[in-house]
A = this chain, B = another copy of it.
Amino acid sequence: MTAARTARGRGAGRPTLEEVAARAGVGRGTVSRVINGSPRVSDETRAAVEAAVAELGYVPNRAARALAANRTDAIALVVPEPEARFFAEPYFSDIVRGVGAALADTEMQLLLTLVGGDRERRRLAQYLASHRVDGVLLVSVHADDPLPELLEQLGIPVVISGRRREDEPLASVDSDNYEGARAAVAHLVARGRRSIATITGPLDVYGARRRLDGYRAALAEAGLEELTAHGDFTEEGGRRAMAELLERAPHLDAVFAASDVMASGARQVLREDGRRIPDDTALVGFDDSAIARHMDPPLTSVRQPIEEMGRAMAELLLAEITATEPARPSLVLPTELVVRASS
């Protein structure tokens, strides 16, 4: 009468290592070796254990393993809440999908950690340390964020999305904002546009600055003059910047907005001004979001390989976790110009 095993309740009736060992007629250590793929087991023993595992439907208890081995086989994806709202679409779900794909063939599980206000942010490092996750994926990190360095000091492997500056010291995955912007503007040049303006993102964000650099490089190549207005990645910001540009340079014949959302704002102002897109003014965005695809006319935009970035982040993190020597590579993934009717 194994009452404890047959009783109702969570985890009830699940076989343990010990039971597998008894069934296979071997010791606990041997089963553990088989489960963990140690080579120091004879083929017959291995087969016997594997049969017992299959018969009993044994699955290791993660908590016990975590406690004994001092590793959790879990990584945390930390998403700062206020920013999440911004690029929730499609950024977030794509990152998650990429991370999930990279983890699919792994024992690693994904912990989602939404960080709200400053108070929670301050507790976060301790929180992560207590949960003893094996590594942390950090998205949307600000240039002055102390969190990455804090985690470093705690000895927790970290990978961040988007570099914070040129010489990012931490492992990071970024998209080629510079080249994406350059290609977009070169495309406008190739279409015969000669007065090409840009609406920038907030320039304290490294990626936004790189997009501006790319814009400038393309103009320099073509020997054209730059025309810049500052936005903040919001639709209203795009509207304001576009209005300012029309005031300053009514002759402009193309606009490169550093985000689709800003492009959408710009489009409204262009329409209100009676300008046809692309006939009078060509428009190009950045992100290749749902907005771009459904805009009227559909918006030419720079696609970032977000899902691949998520995948790469996870792979980098897994490498960092298993590695003895920290490597901290900075990966930059190529962007792709998706040409649609707006240019």
Contacts and interface: CB of A to CB of B under 8 A. Distances in A.
A290 interface: yes
Contacts of A131: 62, 109
Given A111-B111, A112-B110, A81 B61 contact: no
A88 to B, nearest CB: 4
A61 B130 contact: yes
Interface stretch (A10-18, A202-210, A248-256): A10-18
Interface stretch (A93-101, A169-177, A187-195, A214-222): A93-101
Contacts of A92: 92-93, 96
Interface string A99-114: 0110010000111111
Contacts of A70: 9-11
A256 to B, nearest CB: 19
A296 B113 CA distance: 37
Interface in A228-252: none
Interface string A1-23: 00000001111101000000000
B112 A112 contact: yes
A120 B104 CA distance: 9
A171 B125 CA distance: 35
A129 B59 contact: yes
A340 interface: no
A100 B78 CA distance: 12
B63 A63 contact: yes
A278 interface: no
A155 interface: yes
Interface string A49-69: 000000001011111101100
Contact of A156 (B10, B94, B156): B10
Contacts of A116: 104
Contact of A134 (B10, B57, B61): B10
What are the 9 closest A-B residue pairs judged by CB atoms, nearest first? A59-B130, A100-B114, A63-B66, A296-B296, A88-B93, A63-B67, A92-B93, A110-B112, A112-B112
